Homo-oligomer: A and B are copies of this chain.
């Protein structure tokens, strides 16, 4: 177990002061007019012995940790998992590490996690915030921490966010069902005040309203336990036999919905047409393939990290918060077509 060497060891070995080494290592040699020859000698030696600065000490001194805190609803949800993956890649490429956690949409848990992140001195925050966390975020911002939200935002909090056009997404999907001739269209969503869910409901309502159709909305609770989602949907579909189409507000609800439909032995789209939010393997491979509102995950991740890196690099000039809205893509498949 070779002892870790420090900047002092290097300095002693080379008969130079540690200040000089520090300057050279931080690329400030030119600025400090350190001789090229010395720079080269130091660099060579450093590489030779494989010296790595202690990032902890560096962070303690500079107050920067080169770490980004990422908070998603649930890392095992495919939407968040892919976003996390893409953000991870981009962050590492820019010298940042990611610490992540799943909030479960739980305000209290999220508060604790924010505290943990603060403790660890993360340089910036990326999050899909749960409800009721406004105060904590505002406190963060007040202390000068960059925060970028995605998937949803908090109307009372003035910070950057990247979202999709939720309203148009469901409006468009609902219109598609109407155009196909469906008349009793249901919408299943989480009971939630989150912006994205509210817009999704609104888009659905708007589309129905424009055609004078009746609303059928089911709200389920957000929960890790699938049974708590499956049960109310089963109930709902059993009681509303007239429904001829259903739009699921999230991928998780969509997956659960498909399980219910399969258990009830309903035929898609003959008995019930289906559209779900988020496009992924379960929907693509389903028989029949399920029409889905595809979110541009790569674009979302790209935008999120770009916005955050900008803020991180330009801490000085407090720029105006940006809000970015991206388009979704309705992937039309058999599950939503009308059978003649």
Contact surface of A with B, Cβ cutoff 8 Å:
1-2, 52, 54-57, 59-60, 65, 67, 74-76, 78, 81-82, 84-85, 88-89, 92, 97-102, 113, 115-116, 118-121, 142-144, 255, 258-259, 262, 281-282, 284-287
A2 to B139, CA, bound (A): 10
Q: How many copies does the complex hold?
A: 2
A89 to B113, CA, bound (A): 12
Contacts A56-B59, A98-B100, A99-B97; A281 near B284 (Cβ below 8 A):
no
CB distance from A260 to the nearest CB of B (A): 11
B82 A92 Cβ-Cβ under 8 A: no
B56 A121 Cβ-Cβ under 8 A: yes
B98 A99 Cβ-Cβ under 8 A: yes
| Residues of the B chain whose Cβ atoms lie less than 8 Å from the Cβ of A81 | 75-76, 78, 81
B60 A88 Cβ-Cβ under 8 A: no
B281 A144 Cβ-Cβ under 8 A: no
A262 to B88, CA, bound (A): 33
| Residues of the B chain whose Cβ atoms lie less than 8 Å from the Cβ of A88 | 75, 100-102
CB closest chain-B residue, reference A144: B1
CB distance from A111 to the nearest CB of B (A): 13
Question: Would you mind naming 24 contact pairs between A and B with Cβ atoms under 8 Å apart?
Answer: A1-B142, A54-B60, A56-B120, A67-B99, A67-B120, A74-B85, A75-B81, A75-B85, A75-B88, A76-B82, A76-B84, A78-B78, A88-B102, A89-B102, A92-B101, A97-B116, A98-B99, A98-B100, A99-B99, A255-B281, A255-B285, A259-B284, A262-B285, A286-B287
A60 to B65, CA, bound (A): 13
CB closest chain-B residue, reference A115: B52
A281 to B76, CA, bound (A): 12
CB distance from A226 to the nearest CB of B (A): 10
| Residues of the B chain whose Cβ atoms lie less than 8 Å from the Cβ of A52 | 115, 118-119
| Residues of the B chain whose Cβ atoms lie less than 8 Å from the Cβ of A60 | 54, 56-57, 60
| Residues of the B chain whose Cβ atoms lie less than 8 Å from the Cβ of A98 | 99-101
CB distance from A271 to the nearest CB of B (A): 15
CB distance from A10 to the nearest CB of B (A): 16
